[in-house]
């Protein structure tokens, strides 16, 4: 993971545990639960003093999200390959309270044979919750892999279904 993309960080408390938010020059570049898979580890970055607009917008969005309220998306700037960024953009089209299977998402992207590669890209999503990789489920509707853990995935989907 290219941590040089990030320039500033903030810790954000949530009902599902603390998150580390990181921003780049262009927007939110990372949002990770402690201990989640593909977490970059300790970031050698300055900590925000509370005045950064992108990180404040991220914190406000998360507060609204967990409160079941609509929110404004902060500017997003995840670093990844062209294919990963294409997959992450497609995740943004999955509405709260809805879900897609890996196969459905692959077909929607015109890459029906790439469900496995798509799954790997979903798993590498560096912006938890706001890029909603938790809305992707197995072909039979089962909850499969989530970098933040299946209990968190279950809680996020339950929260969205209750708010819908």
**How far is Cα 102 from Cα 84, in angstroms, rounded to an integer?**
14
Contacts of 11 (CB under 8 A, 6+ apart): 18, 19, 20, 21, 47
**How far is Cα 162 from Cα 97, in angstroms, rounded to an integer?**
8
User: Which one of 133, 136, 156, 159 is the catalytic residue?
Assistant: 133
Q: Is the dihedral of CA 149, 153, 156, 159 positive or negative?
A: negative
- Determine whether 49 is an active site residue: no
**How far is Cα 148 from Cα 152, in angstroms, rounded to an integer?**
6
The residues carrying an active-site annotation are 133
């Amino acid at each position: 993971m290219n941590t040089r993309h990030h320039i500033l960080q903030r810790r954000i408390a949530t009902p599902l545990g603390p998150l580390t938010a990181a921003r780049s020059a262009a927007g939110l570049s990372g949002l990770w639960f402690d201990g989640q898979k593909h977490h970059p580890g300790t970031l050698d970055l300055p900590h925000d003093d509370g005045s950064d607009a992108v990180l404040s917008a991220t914190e406000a969005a998360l507060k609204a999200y967990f409160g079941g309220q609509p929110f404004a998306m902060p500017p997003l700037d995840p670093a990844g390959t062209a294919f990963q960024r294409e997959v992450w953009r497609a995740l943004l089209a999955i509405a709260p309270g809805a879900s897609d299977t890996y196969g459905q998402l692959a077909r929607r992207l015109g890459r029906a044979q790439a469900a496995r590669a798509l799954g790997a890209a979903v798993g590498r999503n560096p912006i938890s919750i706001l890029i909603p990789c938790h809305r992707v489920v197995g072909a039979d509707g089962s909850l499969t892999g989530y970098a933040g853990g299946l209990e968190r995935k279950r809680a996020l989907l339950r929260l969205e279904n209750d708010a819908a």
